[in-house]
């Protein structure tokens, strides 16, 4: 295969992955359950956590968790499909590792800057990254998720000094609001994933960069709010 042909197929992978990522799963779930736009509540983010916040407020905690689960499965499914397509089309002869990196990057790019909202609205890409890692290696997802949650709850305890383990809603709240722990967990989780080889580490790293970029403003706001609270 010539370099030009290879690049054409990789561009196709990028386009398909981006359009998959652009599908606003959380918006569709929230709109279907309560008839409202998901960006009207909380952080304004089009993601599973914001679906949970808005549906819980309008309905109940149980309905909020159900909406969260549906949005999460949909968002992760986008990542899984992007990797599946990159692998499935491998018979075309392009570089398989490069295709995985492109697929993971563009599916998260679409999720974060959706074509259907004129690139102005989107999520933060965490669930889509989860889907990517699940498709690459399920064990890597379990280890990465464990590292992420440990970081979130550890930082929550160190900074806020309380976690209500008995209340599921409080744990959801900590997981969604503990931005510093989330960002730290994303970075630390890359360490064990490195040992799964480049076919897992590099696509995850490419997608993680976009997720971290989307968290920059939230981290600034969170740290500023924490500093004001301690004055």
- Say what the pTM is: 0.87
pLDDT tens digits, one per residue of 49-84: 888 888 888 888 888 889 989 999 999 999 999 999
* Share in percent of the chain as helix, strand, coil (round to 5): 80, 0, 20
Query: Mean pLDDT score of the chain, rounded to an integer?
Result: 84
pLDDT level of residue 209 (50, 70, 90 thresholds): very high
Question: Is 162 strand, coil or helix?
Answer: coil
Q: By the 8 A CB rule, do 4 and 45 touch?
A: no
Rounded to whole angstroms, how far apart are CA atoms 104 and 39? 24
Higher pLDDT, 136 or 55: 136
pLDDT level of residue 183 (50, 70, 90 thresholds): confident
Q: Residue 48's pLDDT is what?
A: 86
Q: What percent of the chain has pLDDT over 70?
A: 82
The residue-averaged pLDDT of 129-145 equals: 95
C-alpha torsion sign, points 179, 182, 186, 188: positive
**Pick from 1-5, 93-97, 187-191: least confident:** 1-5
pLDDT over 80 (residue 167) = no
Q: Which helix (H) or strand (E) holds 190?
A: helix 179-194
Q: What percent of the chain has pLDDT over 90?
A: 41
């Amino acid at each position: 295969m010539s370099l030009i042909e290879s690049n054409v197929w990789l561009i196709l992978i990028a386009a398909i992955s981006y359009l998959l990522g652009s599908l606003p799963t959380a918006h569709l779930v929230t709109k279907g359950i309560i008839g409202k736009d998901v960006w009207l509540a909380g952080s304004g983010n089009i993601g599973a956590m914001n679906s949970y916040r808005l549906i819980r407020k309008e309905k109940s905690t149980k309905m909020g968790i159900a909406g969260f689960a549906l949005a999460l499965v949909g968002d992760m499914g986008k990542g899984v499909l992007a990797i599946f397509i990159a692998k499935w089309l491998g018979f075309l002869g392009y570089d398989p590792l490069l295709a995985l990196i492109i697929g993971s990057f563009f599916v998260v790019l679409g999720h974060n800057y959706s074509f259907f909202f004129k690139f102005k609205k989107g999520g933060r890409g965490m669930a889509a990254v989860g889907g990517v890692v699940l498709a690459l290696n399920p064990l890597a997802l379990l280890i990465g998720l464990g590292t992420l949650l440990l970081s979130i709850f550890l930082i929550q305890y160190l900074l806020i000094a309380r976690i209500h383990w008995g209340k599921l809603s409080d744990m959801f709240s900590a997981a969604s609001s503990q931005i510093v722990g989330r960002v730290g967990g994303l970075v630390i989780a890359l360490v064990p994933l490195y040992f799964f080889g480049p076919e897992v580490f590099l696509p995850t790293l490419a997608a993680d960069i976009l997720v971290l970029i989307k968290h920059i403003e939230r981290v600034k706001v969170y740290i500023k709010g924490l500093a004001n609270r301690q004055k």
